[in-house]
Amino acid sequence: MEERLKELETLALQQVSEAQDLKQLNEVRVAYLGKKGPITEILRGMGQLSAEERPKMGALANVVREAIAGKIEEKQAELEKAAVAAKLASETIDVTLPGRPTPTGSQHPLTKVVEEIEDLFLGMGYTIAEGPEVEKDYYNFEALNLPKDHPARDMQDSFYITDEILLRTHTSPVQARTMEKNEAKGPIKIICPGKVYRRDDDDATHSHQFTQIEGLVIDENISMSDLKGTLEVFAKKMFGDEREIRLRPSFFPFTEPSVEVDVSCAKCGGKGCNVCKQTGWIEILGAGMVHPRVLEMAGYDSKKYQGFAFGMGPERIAMLRYGIDDIRHFYTNDQRFVKQFNRV
Ligand code: PHE
C-alpha cells in the first residue's frame, strides 16, 4: 500500500506539472483527490489493515494527499497568473499607431451660399418664409399680376401637373402667400429661399431645377431708395466692400418699376474682363417696387402701403463667387467638386 501511495504521488505530481490550463488541472484534481479517486479508495480500504499499520498508512495517505493538493494550488496560482498576463498582452493597445480617419461630409457650396445670404438678411431684421414647391397657378402667376394668357408667362416655361397646379417657377408665390396670410395687412420683411423649376434644357447656365431667394419688404413709405440701399449692402457683404451696384430698367409683371441689378465685376474691378464680358458689370438679380395690383390682390391698401421685392439665384452667386463655370456641377455631386469647398 505504501508503494501504491508513493506511485500515485509521483504520477499525480507529474500530471499537475504538465497541466496546460485550469481545466486540465481541475481534471487532475478530480482524478486523484475526488470522491471516486484512488486515494479516497485507499483510505476507505484501511479497515482491513492491522491496528498497527492503520495509523501509519493513514498518516502517509494524508501526507500524499496534502502534497498533491499543495502542488495543485501552486500550479493553479501559476496558471491564473499566466492567463491574466496573456489577456493583458492580447488586449494591449498600441497608442502610437496612426488613427483611422473617419470620412466626414462637408457642406454643399450651394447650401453654404444660401445660408450666408440668409444670415445676411436675418442680420437686417428679415425673417425666413417658405412655401410649397408644388404650387397653385394662382399664387405662381395670377396673384402676381400674371393672369391666364398673359404673354409674360412665356418668360418662365412651366411644368404643369394639372391646369391649376404646377411646379413653382420662382419663389415669388411665397410673397403672394405671405401677404395674403397677413391678417393685419401690416408690414412684412421676409426672404424666401427654395427650389424652383423651369422647362429649360440643361446646359452650362440653365437647369430645369435651381434655387432662388426672394426678398419682400412691405411697409408705409417704402421707396426705391430703400431697395437700392438694401441691395448695395447685400452686394458689398457678398462680394466685397469695393463693389458698386447699378440698376437698369427691366420688366416683371409683379413689380413697377422693375429693375435688373448689376454688381461691379470683382475680377477686374469694373475695367472689363472675360468674367464680365468686357462690360465691367455682372447681373445678379431682378427687383422692383411691388405692383399696386399685387398688393391689392392680397388685400393690402396700396395707397397706404408700398413694398419692394427682389429675386436672386444662389447658383449664379456661388458661380461668380467661386469661379464655377457650369451650373450642373451643383447637382451631379461629384466628390472632387464638392470636396473643394471643405476649406472655404
Ligand atoms: N421672380 C422673378 C424671377 O424669377 C425675380 C423677381 C423677384 C423679380 C422679385 C422682381 C422681384 O424671374
Instruction: Please spell the DSSP secondary structure of 12-50, one letter per residue.
Output: HHHHHHH--SHHHHHHHHHHHHSTTSHHHHHHHGGGGS-
pLDDT tens, residue by residue, 279-292: 999 999 999 999 99
Extended beta strands in 72-169, E state: 127-128, 134-136, 165-167
The per-residue DSSP string of 205-248 comes to S--SEEEEEEEEEEETT--HHHHHHHHHHHHHHHH-TT--EEEE
Contacts with 277 (C-beta within 8 Å, 6 or more apart), sequence order: none
Look at ligand 1, atom 4, and give the residue with the nearest C-alpha: 170
For residue 168, what is its C-alpha cell? 413653382
Q: Would the pTM of this model clear 0.85, i.e. be above it? A: no
Contacts with 237 (C-beta within 8 Å, 6 or more apart), sequence order: 120
Which residues are paired to 192 by β-bridges? 214
- Pocket lined around ligand 1, Cβ cut-off 6 Å: 170, 172, 214, 252, 255, 286-288, 309-311
Residue numbers of the chain with a pLDDT score lower than 70: 343-344
Yes or no: say if 55 and 48 are a contact pair by the CB < 8 Å rule.
Answer: no
Atom of ligand 1 minimally distant from the CA of 169: 4
Between vectors from CA 237 to CA 233 and to CA 239, what angle results, nearest 5°?
A: 115
The pair phi, psi for residue 254, each rounded to 5°, is -95, 0
Yes or no: say if 141 and 164 are a contact pair by the CB < 8 Å rule.
Answer: no
Mutate to test the pocket of ligand 1, among 168, 170, 306 (most ligand atoms within 8 A of CB): 170
Mutate to test the pocket of ligand 1, among 139, 153, 196, 214 (most ligand atoms within 8 A of CB): 214
3-state secondary structure of 99: coil
Which pLDDT value is given to residue 107? Answer: 86
State the number of CA atoms in the 13 A half-sphere of 29 facing the CB: 15
Which pLDDT value is given to residue 50? Answer: 83
3-state secondary structure of 338: helix
CA 28 to centroid of ligand 1, rounded, Å? 92
Yes or no: say if 28 and 53 are a contact pair by the CB < 8 Å rule.
Answer: no
